[in-house]
Structure 1
Amino acid sequence: MSAVLLFHVDDAGRWPNLLANVRNAQTAAPERSLRVIANGQAPMSLWAKGHWRREIEERISAGVRVDFCENSLLNLGLDPDDRPLGSQLVAAGVVAIADAQEAGALYIKP
């Protein structure tokens, strides 16, 4: 089995690049597991419920795991219950990234 591709986004303006990378990975290797971890300022863009949020929800529906850092949400004043449908929470994004890498995930920073 191929290693999980772990996409890390921490900048609110990086969603277009991340989404393009995820789409390309899904097309090129549909059997590969993909995971996104968002922390820092990145969640702000998806709480606006615009185009990027709709697309991330489509990626989730297509099997991509998307995790949001609870610490970042608290620091940004964002309601964790208002996260994109199907996404998950992790206590600390940096710990989740380290744990995923330790388990063999391949880190990608679009």
Structure 2
Amino acid sequence: MSDLKVVLHVSEADRWHAALGNLANLTALDDQPAVRVVVNGSAVYVLQGQHDWLGHMAKAAAKGVTFQVCQNSLKAHDIEPGTLPEWATTVPNGVLALAEAQQGGFAYIKP
């Protein structure tokens, strides 16, 4: 695995298409970087229900991508953390998670 670390920030539901394209490209690399996705804002809505985008996210998670979901955004959008897919973890604050990732050497990408 590459020494490169990438954090994708998805904060709007309509940006998932671009984020999923980025994830597909990153996870297809022979020397795949460490990839983290921080989800907040209206983007949390996409983690509900059943649809093909969740399948793409699950495949990325199976390849080592971590998904961190902001608890503040879940609360603001009346979403129970227990309804998230099993591969998604919650963090108390998405913005703080982004800052910590950057402090830890992750390159910030906003699809």
CA distance in 1, matches of 2:76, 2:20: 24
Q: Which residue of 1 aligns with 2:79?
A: 78
Q: How far 1:109 sits from its partner (Å)?
A: 0.4
Alpha-carbon RMSD:
1.2
Aligned-residue sequence identity (percent) comes to: 32
TM-fit CA distance, 1:29? 4.6
Give the equivalent residue in structure 1 for 2:11.
10
Unaligned ranges ≥5, structure 1: none
TM-score normalised by L of structure 2: 0.92
Letter in 2 for 1:46: L
**Which stretch of the first structure deviates more once superposed, 58-67 or 35-44?**
58-67
CA contact (8 A) 1:69 1:92 kept: yes
Deviation at 1:3, TM superposition (A): 2.8
Q: Where does 1:39-78 land on structure 2 (aligned, <5 Å)? A: 39-78=40-79
Please tell me whether the aligned partners of residues 13 and 42 of structure 1 are also in contact (alpha carbons under 8 angstroms): yes
Please give the secondary structure, in 2, of the residue aligned with 1:49: coil
Structure 1 counterpart of 2:55, one-letter code? R
- Give a deviation string over 1:22-81, Cα, whole Å, max 9, x none: 110111254311100000100102213211112111211121001100000000001101
**Structure 1 runs of 4+ off > 2 angstroms?**
28-31
Deviates more, 1:67-76 or 1:82-91: 82-91
Supply the AA of the counterpart residue of 1:89.
T
Query: Within 1, Cα distance between the matches of 2:106 and 2:61?
Result: 18
Give the length in aligned residue pairs. Answer: 110
In structure 2, relative to structure 1, the CA distance for the partners of 1:92 and 1:23 (3 Å cut) is same
